[in-house]
Structure 1
Amino acid sequence: MRLLLVEDDPSMQTALQRTLRNRGMEVQVCGDGPTALARWKAAPPDVVMLDLTLPGMDGLLVLEKARRSGLRTPVLILTARGTVGDRIMGLNSGADDYLPKPFDLDELEARLRALHRRHGAGGASAPEPAMGGLRCDRESGAIHWNDEVMELAPRETALLQALLARPGHAVPKERLFELVFPGEADVQYEAIEVVVYRLRKKLAHTGVRLVTLRGLGYLLKAGE
């Protein structure tokens, strides 16, 4: 999913970009209204996350101009303006959803994925990451084996999500560490090997193997 985050607070920009990238999304950021509108027109993303209080051009005006120019990208408004009146104004200006600050990151992700599904090109959504009988539910992030949810720890789920996103391809150990232990500077690098060991045991009955490629990282292989 390609996202355009329009937010003028640098710390919020950095935090959201890092978090959503760790959850498998591509995030482009900008901090003012005119730039946001120009980027939106030049390369329409899958979803726009739009703050309302922006330098250069208010977020509502950005949204109104985008809609008038024919841009139909779904928009999730993120703002500290949380009154009912503000929400109505945003929705009337063409927003698809509204999430007041502060917000829960899991809820944000769920809303973004819901918007992406509902507004997918031609009503079709991209196939879910899968290999063999394993698949990752795009909405919840849960891992299914033959249509039953697997009982995995959060770090095991994060690791398997990353590997399923690139089936048959090695994912570097460094990248996996960033996804499984985001922002945890006190965790030792070797901790990823513990998560790999535990996940490998839980995959033993599935026919999908978690393979170590020395110097390259880890990958999933089906069969054999």
Structure 2
Amino acid sequence: MRLLVIEDELPMRTALVETLAAEGYRVKAAGDGISGLETACMETFDLVLLDVMMPGLDGYAVCRELRKRGRGMPVLMLTAKGQIDDRVDGLDSGADDYLVKPFSLRELLARVRALLRRRERDQAVPEVLELGTTVIDFRKSSISQGDRVHPLSEKEAGMLRLLAAYAGETVSREKFLDVVWGYNAFPSTRTVDNFISALRAKLEQDPANPVHLVTVRGTGYRLEQDSPAGERSHQE
């Protein structure tokens, strides 16, 4: 696994590189946002660790530009700013997770492992998924049923990717929040239920009696790729 560390403070940059290298990762480092952005766009990385407070081009701007250029690798933001608005700004700029300094190296490594596992799951999901007469196209972020095409938001597409990665298995509400919204976002489990309802309206022939997005009572949801006649979800 190749990791890129973008951090302007030399002691922190050195500590991160040494810690990650000791875990077996191949690590490259950049000392400012501009060179970090160029490196991230010219080479292939499985994960970027990105400091927020940097001169010239800060972490928010770097992350937004990465997403604008179609670079989809996970981004873990590292910052001394811990206010809710700062975390929201980081996630809205396209980051996948947010870690506030000072942090323990054990937690950092745990976050890195979690993001890399999520990336592996995402890569295992086909770009086009067919559910009966319904087609989910992750490349176009859309769901189509015949002539009807429904756009998918980033969160909706993320939820469907997670469900597809665990097809036939139950995905808990908490896992949706961790994977799709990130550790430091602040939605409730009711948010997940609301998004599922919206997805059913786009995906199911009869949203009131879904056969693909199945509720597992008291736990979460499951994606069924086959839809035998008469199959219905166990509604809460």
| TM range, smaller chain | 0.5 to 0.7
- For 2:62 and 2:40, the matched residues in 1 are separated by 10
Query: Which structure 2 residues correspond to residues 35-184 of structure 1 after superposition, within 5 A?
Result: 35-120=35-120, 122-123=123-124
How big is the shift at 1:36?
0.7
- For 2:38 and 2:9, the matched residues in 1 are separated by 19
- For 2:87 and 2:124, the matched residues in 1 are separated by 26
Number of residue pairs aligned between Structure 1 and Structure 2: 124
Task: Name stretches of at least 5 consecutive residues in structure 1 with no aligned partner.
Answer: 125-224
Which letter does structure 1 place at the counterpart of 2:66?
A: A
The share of aligned pairs that are identical, in percent, is 48
How big is the shift at 1:35?
0.5
- For 2:10 and 2:88, the matched residues in 1 are separated by 27
- For 1:65 and 1:59, the matched residues in 2 are separated by 10
- For 2:124 and 2:117, the matched residues in 1 are separated by 8
- For 1:48 and 1:108, the matched residues in 2 are separated by 13
The answer for the alignment partner of 1:24 in structure 2 is 24
How big is the shift at 1:58?
1.1
1:6 and 1:51 in contact (8 A); partners too: yes
Which letter does structure 1 place at the counterpart of 2:124?
A: G
* Partner SS state of residue 95, structure 1: coil
Which letter does structure 2 place at the counterpart of 1:62?
A: V
Which letter does structure 2 place at the counterpart of 1:123?
A: A
- For 2:124 and 2:84, the matched residues in 1 are separated by 30
Which letter does structure 1 place at the counterpart of 2:123?
A: G
The answer for the alignment partner of 1:146 in structure 2 is none
How big is the shift at 1:44?
2.5
Question: Runs of 4+ in structure 1 displaced over 6 angstroms?
Answer: none
The answer for the alignment partner of 2:138 in structure 1 is none
1:31 and 1:55 in contact (8 A); partners too: no
- For 1:123 and 1:78, the matched residues in 2 are separated by 28
How big is the shift at 1:46?
0.4
* Partner SS state of residue 28, structure 2: strand
- For 2:43 and 2:112, the matched residues in 1 are separated by 18
* Partner SS state of residue 119, structure 1: helix
TM-score normalised to structure 2 length: 0.51
- For 1:44 and 1:55, the matched residues in 2 are separated by 24
- For 1:35 and 1:70, the matched residues in 2 are separated by 18
TM-score normalised to structure 1 length: 0.54
Which letter does structure 2 place at the counterpart of 1:2?
A: R
How big is the shift at 1:123?
2.6
Q: Which digits, 9 at most, give the CA deviation of each residue in 1:96-120, with x for residues without a partner?
A: 0000000011111111011011112
- For 2:123 and 2:58, the matched residues in 1 are separated by 31
Cα root mean square deviation, aligned: 1.2
Q: Which digits, 9 at most, give the CA deviation of each residue in 1:160-194, with x for residues without a partner?
A: xxxxxxxxxxxxxxxxxxxxxxxxxxxxxxxxxxx
- For 2:8 and 2:123, the matched residues in 1 are separated by 33
- For 1:39 and 1:45, the matched residues in 2 are separated by 9
How big is the shift at 1:20?
1.2
Task: Name stretches of at least 5 consecutive residues in structure 2 with no aligned partner.
Answer: 126-236
